[in-house]
Amino acid sequence: MPRKLFIKTYGCQMNVYDSGRMADLLAPLGYEETMTPEGADLVILNTCHIREKAAEKVYSELGRLRALKDQRKAAGGDMLIAVAGCVAQAEGEEMGRRAPVVDLIVGPQTYHRLPELVAQAHRVSGAVLDTDFPAESKFDHLPESQKTEGPTAFLSVQEGCDKFCTFCVVPYTRGAEYSRSVSDVLAEARRLVAGGVHEITLLGQNVNAYHGEADDGTWSLARLVRALADVPGLQRIRYTTSHPRDMSDDLIAAHGEIEQLMPYLHLPVQSGSDDVLKAMNRRHTRDVYLRLIERIRVARPDIAMSGDFIVGFPGETDSDFAQTIDLVQQTGYASAYSFKYSARPGTPASTAGAQVPEAVKSERLTALQQLLDAQQVAFNHASVGKTVPVLFERTGRKAGQLVGRSPWLQAVHVEADVAMMGKLADVTLVEAKANSLAGVLQAAEPAGKVA
Ligand code: SAH
Ligand code: SF4
Ligand code: F3S
ω into 241 cis (within 30 of 0): yes
The pTM of this model reads 0.96
How close is the Cα of 311 to the center of ligand 2, in Å? 16
Q: What is the pLDDT of residue 451?
A: 38
- Residue 137 CB neighbour total at 10 angstroms: 15
Q: What is the pLDDT of residue 446?
A: 54
Q: What is the pLDDT of residue 450?
A: 45
Q: What is the pLDDT of residue 136?
A: 87
For the chain, which ranges sit under pLDDT 70?
Answer: 443-451
In the 8-state DSSP scheme, what is residue 399? Answer: T
How close is the Cα of 193 to the center of ligand 1, in Å? 31
Amino acid at the residue 209: A
How close is the Cα of 103 to the center of ligand 1, in Å? 30
Residue 205 sits at the vertex; the CA angle it makes with 200 and 211, to the nearest 5 degrees, is 75
Strands (E), 157-276: 158-159, 178-179, 199-203, 211-214, 217-220, 236-240, 264-266
Quote the CA–CA distance of 73 and 275 in Å, as a whole number: 56
Q: Is 241 in the pocket of ligand 1 (CB under 6 A)?
A: yes
Pocket test for ligand 2, best of 14, 49, 86, 161 (most atoms within 8 A of CB): 161
Q: Which is it for strands 401-405 and 436-441: parallel, antiparallel or unpaired?
A: unpaired
Q: Is 152 helix (H, G, I), strand (E, B) or coil?
A: strand
Pocket test for ligand 2, best of 164, 242, 277, 284 (most atoms within 8 A of CB): 164
Bridge partners of residue 44, in order along the sequence: 7, 82
Q: Which is it for strands 401-405 and 411-415: parallel, antiparallel or unpaired?
A: antiparallel
Q: Which is it for strands 387-395 and 80-84: parallel, antiparallel or unpaired?
A: unpaired
How close is the Cα of 49 to the center of ligand 2, in Å? 13
Contact 186, 231 (CB under 8 A): yes
Q: Is 344 in the pocket of ligand 2 (CB under 6 A)?
A: no
ω into 201 cis (within 30 of 0): no
Nearest-CA residue for atom 7 of ligand 3: 170
| Helices 318-331/358-383 angle, 10° precision | 10
Quote the CA–CA distance of 262 and 300 in Å, as a whole number: 10
Q: Which is it for strands 387-395 and 211-214: parallel, antiparallel or unpaired?
A: unpaired
Q: What is the pLDDT of residue 211?
A: 97
Q: What is the pLDDT of residue 57?
A: 94
How close is the Cα of 100 to the center of ligand 2, in Å? 32
Instruction: Give the ligand 1 atom nearest the CA of 206.
Output: 1
Q: Is 204 in the pocket of ligand 3 (CB under 6 A)?
A: no
Q: Is 180 helix (H, G, I), strand (E, B) or coil?
A: coil
Give Cα 174 to chain centroid, integer Å.
Answer: 14
Domains of the chain: 3-130 (3.40.50.12160), 138-383 (3.80.30.20), 387-441 (2.40.50.140)
Q: What is the pLDDT of residue 444?
A: 59
Nearest-CA residue for atom 5 of ligand 2: 163
How close is the Cα of 64 to the center of ligand 1, in Å? 28
